[in-house]
Structure 1
Amino acid sequence: MKKSFSTISSLVLGTALTTSVASGATGELAKIMKDRGLSEVDVIRAAKTYNPTGVKDKYVVFSSGGQSGQMIVYGVPSMRILKYIAVFTPEPWQGYGYDKDSIDVLRQGNIRGREINWGDTHHPALSETDGKYDGKWLAINDKANPRIAIIDLADFETKQIVVNPVFKSDHGGAFFTPNSEHILEAAQYAAPFDNNYHPIEEYKETYRGGVTVWKFDPKIGRVVPNDSYTIEMPPYMQDLSDSGKGLSNGWGFTNSFNSEMYTGGIEVGMPPNEAGMSRNDTDYLHVYNWEKLYKLSKDPKNVKIINDHKVIPMDVAVKNNALFLIPEPKSPHGVDVDPTGQYIVVCGKLDTHASVYDFKKIKKLIDNKEFVGKDPFGIPILDMKKSLHGQVELGLGPLHNQYSPVDGEIYTSLYVDSQVVKWNFKTLKVLDKENVHYNIGHLAGMEGKSADPQGEYIIALNKLAIDRFQNVGPLHPQNHQLIDISGKTMDLLVDMPLPLGEPHQAVAIRASKLHPHVRYEMGTNTKTGKQHIGKTLAGQERIERDGNHVKVYGTLVRSHINPERITVNKGDRVTMYLTNLERAEDETHGFTVDHYNLHGSLEPGETIELDFTADIEGVFPYYCTEFCSALHLEMMGYLMVKDPNKKYESAQKIKMKSMTPEELKAEYDKTVAVNNATDAVIQSVVKFLKDNKYQDHKVVANLVTDAFDQYNQIPAQKKKADEAVKAGEMEKAILFENMIWQLMVKTADVGIRAKDALVRIIATTQSTAAARGEKTFAEGGCNGCHVIGKVSSGPDLTGVLQRHENGVDWVSRFILDPQSMYTDPYVKGMIDYFNLKMPNQHMNKEEVKDIIEYLKWVDENANLF
């Protein structure tokens, strides 16, 4: 059922508000709505997702990136993409897979000695404490190459990749247990556990499914392979899983398809897999006590060692009452444990019903050994009806579920119907449906699979977009749609195209639970979290040679790379250790050497290692790839590779003596004068900062520290300049003075930012009108000529309201109609002085009023500008 008027009527208050705004003095909103054909409901929906500049989202979503092998991070409700996390695939911007430390992480994912450089990320999982997301770790599986990756949410970087030693594919991963001691990963397509050839005719005998229970250390965020094990299961295709919690803690639930154990054979005249694998009316839900089996895995007699990995055989699990089967609707896809741990909801793609299992009933049947039989492998089967709380018909193609904080409330995706259905798994009643576009797969609720679901929003992860976006060719983006579930009925708010991979599943967490770094401790290896062996501080830069191995210990800081010249022999192995010396937030430096397929991304405090063979001769610039300062283009150097077996004929040195000694002296004096003037500006900023106790404000203090890092390098350069003058080497003296100027520019750049930040902290609070006025002042182009606090292309406007009788009226008239006042003696004097006329910026009266309020605020804080 698709609502229409019900949605609109539920938004009456919002509509009234919008209409009120639209009919305001400017009528701008009404005009925009008319021009774009927007209704009041459209505007309300837009307002629900809009974040003004600087405003952050309440939730953060981690979505798999599908065939990209990466992860996508975006905010809710804005649906703005914030980051791509590099996981199984090289990612150039972040240097992932292009510097040695990240390559080491990628190579953890090698399979049977083969490099694997792509992945199919599927099911992300957030670490939990007491079943609630704790914001510390993120796990994601690779379906194509059965692997699990661990991402540290302190910096959103991949720290570990673990290869499943017995699976050949996986789909049902990753799922944390309630206190993150284990991660469940289920096989997808049954295959032999060993790495040998086995004919398909031996499918039942030698092909197997299973669930790997990875031991996880939540303190350090690492999987512990030696303490992990796999539960052998029949060659039914195991699919999604979920870990029990609360009432069912210690148990795991994994559904499956192909209880027929069909193996296809189109090429020999057999029906295709899709027919043979869906003949039975039911498949099997696997119910297993992973906690008991973990303890059993400690005893060697309970396990087989396959590929150096512990496997618990089916008969051992059965003998210890730890593995059971329950019939479930055929071809199920979702299995989801409710926040209490009592109810398990299973949806079958080929069944219109959702089945709600009751763990209390399941446990009672197990304890009473009340079984209806065994499967061909001897696993006890529980009676489906006796295990069920009930079933409810939802629609065509039910798949996945998310819970809300309302007791019994659940949301389910309907693939065929392209809908989200809201229903109650306790009362078994359907409550609402919402159309989506199109063919929805997973759902992402706000912490909707945890013990503490938040409600508010549901995100539909749709498989098809078809006609929703601008045509960009046959390959369409995916479509994530945000749905407001805070009201009685659902309301679809916005579409978000995702042009990366096929995002398969997503998980959402409150942003308040995430506490990522803004910088690293100096010299950190971000992949290990420890101090990097190549940590290099200012003054420690050097080049060392050991035979044909050249080690470069370098630093990057605005705006130079040290060293700036590196000469090696063709064939040398070159190891570069580079440290970003910045302390300021968001001052990333990149590094590449042309032609050598290298790239590093160095966040503040990070050290990376680049390792390569200088196998081609030539001159290769290296430079910072992140635009970091006004002198970014000058942040470069040269790698010069010479052939030791080749004789070079040096070009005749041309002595650059085009200037007379008098001209050189004049140039030197001019450079020193510019530096003295620049230093005077710096000292005035320093005085302002000290007078206003900058050290009391951490953000400002960090910037000041960063500025002095640059300024404190000047004395050494000045000493060199003075020595050059004394020796009569004026060309060299000028170069050192130019270096001083560059250091001063960088100091002033950071110092002025520190001053501006301090002004904002200690200035009086702006009124709403003054804030609007400042925005209008900027957007209207006023600051192109007028810089508050100093004379620029136009006069300083500090105190402008006091310069004229009835100053507010005078300034207002001048802004509204400057041409009419060009003959005013004061205005004419300004025109003659600046050789520039005030243009008409076509401000309206309301905007001018706001600018006046802004100028009043400037006058209140005149001592700060």
Structure 2
Amino acid sequence: MNSMVKRLSLAAIGALVGVSMVSADNSELEKVMKERGLTQQDLLAAAKTYTPSGGRDKYIVFSSGGQSGQMLVYGVPSMRILKYIGVFTPEPWQGWGYDDDTKKILAEGKIRGKQITWGDTHHPALSETNGRYDGKWLVINDKANPRIAVIDLNDFVTKQIVVNPLFKSDHGGAFFTPNSEYILEACQYAAPLDNNWHPMSEYKETYRGGVTVWKFDPKIGRILPDKSFTIEFPPYMQDLSDAGKEASYGWGFTNSFNSEMYTGGIEKGLPPFEAGCSRNDTDFLHVYNWKKLAELAKDPKNVKVINGMRVVPIDVAVKNNALFLIPEPKSPHGVDVSPDGKYIVVCGKLDTHATVYSWDKIQKAIKNKDFVGKDPYGIPIIDMKKAMHCQAELGLGPLHNQFGKHWKKQGEIYTSLYVDSQVVKWNYLTCKVEDRQNVNYNIGHLCGMEGKTEDPQGDYIIALNKLAIDRFNEIGPLHPQNHQLIDIRGKKMQLLYDMPIPLGEPHQAVAIRASKLKPEVRYKMGTNPFTGKPHRGKTLAGQEHIERKGNHVYVYGTMVRSHINPEHVNVNLGDTVTFYLTNLERAEDETHGFTVDQYNVHASLEPGKTVALTFKADREGVFPYYCTEFCSALHLEMMGYLLVKDPNKHYVSAKKLKMAKMSKEQLEKEYEKIVATNKATDKVIQSVVKFLKENHYEKYPVVKQLVEDALDQYSKIPEQQKKAEEAYKKGDLEKAILFQNMVWQYMVKTADVGIRARDLLVKKLATPMSEAARRGHEAYLEGGCNGCHVIGKVSSGPDLVGVLQRHKNGEKWVKEWILHPEKMYNNPYIKSMTNYFNLRMPNQGMTEKQVDDIIEYLKWIDKNANLF
């Protein structure tokens, strides 16, 4: 009987993981279970979290990265880490803090002129519409250096950092109001709001806390400091906050510890800080009407300006019935408003209770001015018992709360117990405990699936544990943190998964349904992600060039599998160099990276993105630059050279040294070789000149200007040619070769400018493009096609003049090739082309409409073939 039950149980588990246990070898599964010491409960947990290759998670979690100053993104239920987001500190993979634009964002976080190179991210918050996550914006605070960062969930990139000019720390941030009108950021450690010195003896008089109410524009995803304000609070240590919802909309709630206003002094023989600041049985919950205070702050009479920030003083808030205090359990560490805004839950970590306050009772007390007194700063205190709905005895060290799916009828809520290392499920309407789940160990925050919104999803709870101790392989004294996934869909909670976190200390996390996130998978070609507009350095294929303006060299380059253009950049020692680089790829996930060896710059170029990297060429030498992302079979070949020359230094030519060792016969051959090269180059120049003259270039001012520049370079050739011939007659072959090299240099410059003039003239002479052909030309350039195909000649890829006539049903063939090149890689013709050019055309993610337009552009090329 037991054997039959076991087989049925295994079959059930097999069904969960998609394996037919009828046909599978049960003994193999039993063998694995025995070898690894697995129970059937373990297999069930594994089945609940297993995500097949290519599968997707239902939820996405954004976790603070603690002392890394970054953020962490992972999926639920798989618990697979998907990304780190660079926020307050450099993040090399993304080039965060190593290219010009990300340096500007990090520079926004300077405090009193000082660059801060680390951060302590604590409380992430997702933007809301009608109290529900909308998947548009993410904000996170830096506790150590009071700052708020805004992350755009269109591309998961930090777009703004704002410094709080008043606070010195801000554990209690960031918390959105229900329609993302404001972000609440609470001070933690009381300090003078100005930047002056004040002695500890004046703590009560000059030290203050507060909540900054940052104005947020959800349309553009930016904090507006000039429309923000701060509410002055007493020097109690403010902690976490939550914004009221529905019934309590327009109000904010911030708890505190150290209502004793003790300041320590252990070095003077006084009791330590933690002893003095936990003497009272209760601390204070701050209750304030941010909506009313926002209106009051618009009148200069109601504010004082400190460090450029408007501050609403305590007495103004009290006078306008906008600030109150309620006693709460000592040393609280969280305040959470129920989804309907009718209840406020507070836990005291030095108390065993969770206290549930009734918003109706709080309102009634305020309306009737039913207060038990005032604090030393004149703030009315509401009677705790009269404001309370009920108290629940939960256990040791209650901290944080998340609401479950059945909050409305069953009062479903989950609380972390730090000392007991548990998650407890209870009913906040009846204050009865329903279930407990042990975790490992010393849990801090909880992350529910949208568990702090007006629409909690239930399903899972994540325990963010501070200690791992014996849970993972030993890796030295510094252990990982541990995020544990708990299934809350049944009557009893089930621990499913342990996930070590390699960043410490990830403090809090928020989770959103993946279906609400709609990020871009590529940028529009040439985009600056920080403005959403074309980057000033946007460069398309064929537009690559180098400009010098004084001692600043600008390199306009492109990157596409598998080359960087240009490949040689020559600068002088001491020059400032700016690389503008555009990733021409259109295919999803074809990211390129870029660095210059030894120059401490790096950029990540996702498809379509343009970046800028500026640095000083402060060391002489030759420095390779290359793509840092393994992007293709020829990834290692995707490189170039930065050559830094000291203009004040005399260099002995290696060629000259080489020539000094050559015999006369070898020098003769070298001379003949370069003369032949010059003749071939001149032949190209003359063909260009012929084309320009025949087509009356002089009628077009811009073309004429380019031709004049080319002729200016060409006019310098006869003198060098004469010197070369004279040296040759005298038998000085070394000198003759050097002068012929100068001839070649001028010819290359002439050809470069002349070809640009020719290409411009072609555009002037060609038949007008149809609208579809024009769009096709744009798609052709922005798709990076011009990186390999040069119209009118064979380059890194075949010439496209006449391509529509090379194949039967040419238009259909070309369309299929552009849309799905991978399907044709085995075609004999394609194989021969791939082998010849040593390159394989990638799928650039073109739409069918774009391909149709490109075909119209190719027709236009054929119509004007005589010009190419």
Please, what TM-score do these two structures have when normalized by structure 2?
0.77
In the alignment, the residues of structure 1 paired with residue 780 and residue 486 of structure 2 have an alpha-carbon distance, to the nearest angstrom, of 42
Match for 2:175: what amino acid? F
In the alignment, the residues of structure 2 paired with residue 604 and residue 437 of structure 1 have an alpha-carbon distance, to the nearest angstrom, of 42
Deviation at 1:32, TM superposition (A): 1.8
In the alignment, the residues of structure 1 paired with residue 171 and residue 782 of structure 2 have an alpha-carbon distance, to the nearest angstrom, of 50
Instruction: Tell me the equivalent position of 2:540.
Output: 537
Instruction: Tell me the equivalent position of 1:103.
Output: 103
Residue 426 in 1 paired to residue 503 in 2? Answer: no
Deviation at 1:444, TM superposition (A): 0.2
In the alignment, the residues of structure 2 paired with residue 96 and residue 718 of structure 1 have an alpha-carbon distance, to the nearest angstrom, of 35
Instruction: Tell me the equivalent position of 2:441.
Output: 438
Deviation at 1:630, TM superposition (A): 1.2
Secondary structure of the 1:226 match is helix
Instruction: Tell me the equivalent position of 2:511.
Output: 508
Please tell me whether the aligned partners of residues 192 and 207 of structure 2 are also in contact (alpha carbons under 8 angstroms). Answer: yes
Is the alpha carbon distance of 1:291 and 1:11 closer, same or farther for their aligned partners in structure 2, counting shifts above 3 Å? Answer: farther
Instruction: Tell me the equivalent position of 2:839.
Output: 746
Secondary structure of the 1:377 match is coil
Instruction: Tell me the equivalent position of 1:87.
Output: 87
Instruction: Tell me the equivalent position of 1:852.
Output: none
Runs of 4+ in 1 over 6 A off after TM superposition: 10-13, 655-658, 702-705, 719-722, 739-743, 751-755
- Structure 1 residues 98-146: Cα deviation after superposition (integer angstroms, max 9, x where no partner): 0010000000000000000110000000000000000000000000000
Match for 1:421: what amino acid? V
Secondary structure of the 2:44 match is helix
Residue 208 in 1 paired to residue 208 in 2? Answer: yes
**Gap runs ≥5 in structure 2:** 1-5, 659-665, 677-778, 800-831, 849-868
Is the alpha carbon distance of 1:642 and 1:17 closer, same or farther for their aligned partners in structure 2, counting shifts above 3 Å? Answer: closer
Instruction: Tell me the equivalent position of 2:597.
Output: 594
Secondary structure of the 1:372 match is strand
In the alignment, the residues of structure 1 paired with residue 198 and residue 415 of structure 2 have an alpha-carbon distance, to the nearest angstrom, of 40
- Structure 1 residues 494-548: Cα deviation after superposition (integer angstroms, max 9, x where no partner): 1000011210000000000000010001111112222211111111111111111
Is the alpha carbon distance of 1:439 and 1:644 closer, same or farther for their aligned partners in structure 2, counting shifts above 3 Å? Answer: same
In the alignment, the residues of structure 2 paired with residue 554 and residue 151 of structure 1 have an alpha-carbon distance, to the nearest angstrom, of 28
Instruction: Tell me the equivalent position of 2:231.
Output: 231
Is the alpha carbon distance of 1:714 and 1:740 closer, same or farther for their aligned partners in structure 2, counting shifts above 3 Å? Answer: farther
Please tell me whether the aligned partners of residues 192 and 206 of structure 2 are also in contact (alpha carbons under 8 angstroms). Answer: yes
Secondary structure of the 2:271 match is coil
Match for 2:164: what amino acid? N
- Structure 1 residues 551-598: Cα deviation after superposition (integer angstroms, max 9, x where no partner): 111111111111110000000011111111111100101000001000
Please tell me whether the aligned partners of residues 714 and 743 of structure 1 are also in contact (alpha carbons under 8 angstroms). Answer: no
In the alignment, the residues of structure 2 paired with residue 704 and residue 720 of structure 1 have an alpha-carbon distance, to the nearest angstrom, of 15
Deviation at 1:747, TM superposition (A): 3.9
- Structure 1 residues 701-743: Cα deviation after superposition (integer angstroms, max 9, x where no partner): x999959556633743359999xxxxxxxxxxxxxxxx99689
Is the alpha carbon distance of 1:429 and 1:751 closer, same or farther for their aligned partners in structure 2, counting shifts above 3 Å? Answer: closer
Quick check: 526-535 or 255-264, which moved more?
A: 526-535
In the alignment, the residues of structure 2 paired with residue 743 and residue 714 of structure 1 have an alpha-carbon distance, to the nearest angstrom, of 18
Match for 2:605: what amino acid? L
Instruction: Tell me the equivalent position of 1:821.
Output: none
Deviation at 1:267, TM superposition (A): 0.6
Instruction: Tell me the equivalent position of 2:25.
Output: 26
Deviation at 1:652, TM superposition (A): 2.2
Match of 1:560 among 546, 563, 582: 563
Please tell me whether the aligned partners of residues 191 and 208 of structure 1 are also in contact (alpha carbons under 8 angstroms). Answer: yes
In the alignment, the residues of structure 2 paired with residue 189 and residue 749 of structure 1 have an alpha-carbon distance, to the nearest angstrom, of 56
Match for 2:94: what amino acid? Q
Instruction: Tell me the equivalent position of 1:391.
Output: 391
Instruction: Tell me the equivalent position of 2:653.
Output: 650
Please tell me whether the aligned partners of residues 585 and 784 of structure 2 are also in contact (alpha carbons under 8 angstroms). Answer: no
Is the alpha carbon distance of 1:67 and 1:566 closer, same or farther for their aligned partners in structure 2, counting shifts above 3 Å? Answer: same
Secondary structure of the 2:491 match is coil
Residue 525 in 1 paired to residue 516 in 2? Answer: no
What does residue range 183-194 of structure 1 map to in structure 2 within 5 Å?
A: 183-194=183-194
Secondary structure of the 2:274 match is helix
Corresponding pairs, count: 694
Please tell me whether the aligned partners of residues 554 and 563 of structure 1 are also in contact (alpha carbons under 8 angstroms). Answer: yes
In the alignment, the residues of structure 1 paired with residue 463 and residue 836 of structure 2 have an alpha-carbon distance, to the nearest angstrom, of 52
What does residue range 189-588 of structure 1 map to in structure 2 within 5 Å?
A: 189-406=189-406, 407=408, 408-588=411-591
Please tell me whether the aligned partners of residues 49 and 78 of structure 1 are also in contact (alpha carbons under 8 angstroms). Answer: yes
Please tell me whether the aligned partners of residues 704 and 751 of structure 1 are also in contact (alpha carbons under 8 angstroms). Answer: no
Residue 128 in 1 paired to residue 128 in 2? Answer: yes
Quick check: 60-69 or 708-717, which moved more?
A: 708-717
Secondary structure of the 1:321 match is coil
Match for 2:64: what amino acid? S
Please tell me whether the aligned partners of residues 565 and 638 of structure 1 are also in contact (alpha carbons under 8 angstroms). Answer: yes
In the alignment, the residues of structure 1 paired with residue 346 and residue 141 of structure 2 have an alpha-carbon distance, to the nearest angstrom, of 21
Instruction: Tell me the equivalent position of 1:829.
Output: none
Please tell me whether the aligned partners of residues 549 and 574 of structure 1 are also in contact (alpha carbons under 8 angstroms). Answer: yes
Is the alpha carbon distance of 1:36 and 1:714 closer, same or farther for their aligned partners in structure 2, counting shifts above 3 Å? Answer: farther
Please tell me whether the aligned partners of residues 584 and 703 of structure 1 are also in contact (alpha carbons under 8 angstroms). Answer: no
In the alignment, the residues of structure 1 paired with residue 448 and residue 262 of structure 2 have an alpha-carbon distance, to the nearest angstrom, of 35
Question: CA RMSD of the aligned region, Å?
Answer: 2.9
Is the alpha carbon distance of 1:511 and 1:720 closer, same or farther for their aligned partners in structure 2, counting shifts above 3 Å? Answer: closer
In the alignment, the residues of structure 2 paired with residue 95 and residue 18 of structure 1 have an alpha-carbon distance, to the nearest angstrom, of 42
Match for 1:47: what amino acid? A
Deviation at 1:303, TM superposition (A): 0.4
Match for 1:622: what amino acid? Y
Please tell me whether the aligned partners of residues 361 and 386 of structure 1 are also in contact (alpha carbons under 8 angstroms). Answer: yes
Instruction: Tell me the equivalent position of 2:150.
Output: 150
In the alignment, the residues of structure 2 paired with residue 705 and residue 578 of structure 1 have an alpha-carbon distance, to the nearest angstrom, of 13
Is the alpha carbon distance of 1:581 and 1:97 closer, same or farther for their aligned partners in structure 2, counting shifts above 3 Å? Answer: same
In the alignment, the residues of structure 2 paired with residue 561 and residue 140 of structure 1 have an alpha-carbon distance, to the nearest angstrom, of 37
- Structure 1 residues 291-326: Cα deviation after superposition (integer angstroms, max 9, x where no partner): 000001100000000001100000000000000000
In the alignment, the residues of structure 1 paired with residue 218 and residue 365 of structure 2 have an alpha-carbon distance, to the nearest angstrom, of 34
Match for 2:525: what amino acid? M
Is the alpha carbon distance of 1:292 and 1:328 closer, same or farther for their aligned partners in structure 2, counting shifts above 3 Å? Answer: same
- Structure 1 residues 464-515: Cα deviation after superposition (integer angstroms, max 9, x where no partner): 0000000000000000000000000100001000011210000000000000
Match for 1:73: what amino acid? V
Is the alpha carbon distance of 1:107 and 1:18 closer, same or farther for their aligned partners in structure 2, counting shifts above 3 Å? Answer: closer
Is the alpha carbon distance of 1:566 and 1:424 closer, same or farther for their aligned partners in structure 2, counting shifts above 3 Å? Answer: same
Secondary structure of the 1:170 match is coil
Secondary structure of the 2:93 match is coil
Match of 2:789 among 705, 712, 733: 712
Query: Percent of aligned positions with the same letter in both sequences?
Result: 71
Secondary structure of the 1:210 match is strand
Instruction: Tell me the equivalent position of 2:734.
Output: none
Match for 2:115: what amino acid? E
Quick check: 286-295 or 645-654, which moved more?
A: 645-654
In the alignment, the residues of structure 1 paired with residue 346 and residue 782 of structure 2 have an alpha-carbon distance, to the nearest angstrom, of 58
Secondary structure of the 1:652 match is helix
Match for 1:334: what amino acid? G
Instruction: Tell me the equivalent position of 2:641.
Output: 638
In the alignment, the residues of structure 2 paired with residue 742 and residue 61 of structure 1 have an alpha-carbon distance, to the nearest angstrom, of 46
Match for 2:200: what amino acid? I
Deviation at 1:259, TM superposition (A): 0.2
Please tell me whether the aligned partners of residues 544 and 552 of structure 1 are also in contact (alpha carbons under 8 angstroms). Answer: yes
Deviation at 1:423, TM superposition (A): 0.3
Deviation at 1:24, TM superposition (A): 4.0
Deviation at 1:428, TM superposition (A): 1.0
Secondary structure of the 1:361 match is helix
Instruction: Tell me the equivalent position of 2:115.
Output: 115
Instruction: Tell me the equivalent position of 1:172.
Output: 172
Match for 1:535: what amino acid? K
**Gap runs ≥5 in structure 1:** 1-7, 665-701, 723-738, 756-865
Deviation at 1:30, TM superposition (A): 2.6
Match for 1:746: what amino acid? L
In the alignment, the residues of structure 1 paired with residue 490 and residue 780 of structure 2 have an alpha-carbon distance, to the nearest angstrom, of 46
In the alignment, the residues of structure 1 paired with residue 480 and residue 796 of structure 2 have an alpha-carbon distance, to the nearest angstrom, of 60
